[in-house]
Amino acid sequence: MPFTIVSAFSLPLLWYLWGVEARLYNAVLTVPNGGGYGTWGSREFCRKGYANSFALKVQKYLGPIGDDTSLNTIRLFCSDGSSITSYDGPYGEWSNKRNCKSGFLNSFALRVTPPQGLSDDTAADNIMFTCTDGTEVEGNGHDWGSYGEWRSDS
């Protein structure tokens, strides 16, 4: 078989795609109580395995005249040892990692403070996950606002 332009193009493409695994997913989870503040990053996926723990970046309470931002970033840790963060907000300190005892994260509820009018708006304040083993794991965010509905793919 003679070497052709198609062969010349296909070989580098196959080399590039070697070892690339397509990530299939069966649901995109959203929240109805997310509020209108903040920035969501692009979708991120664990390279292999699933997210089994998380950490939060939360700004401490700044007092009555401070402009609180509360929950700034959610970092998911994957079962292959990697971590993913679609967007890293500029304020706050990282919490310790919160883990599923076994299994992986499979649903969540977001704690949100509704718009406060002339007062300080924080929007997302905390998050709670359920794990496939049935346990609930809550973040270290603030206890302001209230949790919305549990969101899962089932």
Q: pTM here? A: 0.76
Residue 110: pLDDT above 80?
A: yes
Q: Could you report the per-residue pLDDT of 5-48, keeping only the tens digit for each?
A: 333 333 333 333 344 455 677 667 777 777 667 777 888 889 88
Q: Poorest-confidence range of 64-68, 94-98, 140-144?
A: 64-68
Higher pLDDT, 55 or 114: 55
Domain 29-152 coded CATH 1.10.3720.10? no
Name the token pair of 101: 């005892």
Picking from 74, 19, 22, the residue whose alpha carbon sits closest to that of residue 51 is 74
The model's confidence at residue 53, banded by pLDDT at 50, 70 and 90, is very high
pLDDT of the residue at 48: 87
Task: Report in angstroms the alpha-carbon separations of 100 from 10, 28, 36, 133.
Answer: 43, 21, 30, 8
User: Is the CA virtual torsion 91, 94, 95, 98 positive or negative?
Assistant: positive
**What are the residue boundaries of the structural domains of the chain, listed by start?**
29-152
Q: Could you report the per-residue pLDDT of 54-86, keeping only the tens digit for each?
A: 999 988 767 777 666 778 889 999 999 999 998
pLDDT of the residue at 20: 43
pLDDT of the residue at 121: 64
DSSP 51-86: EEEEEEEEPPP--TTS----EEEEEEEETTS-EE-S
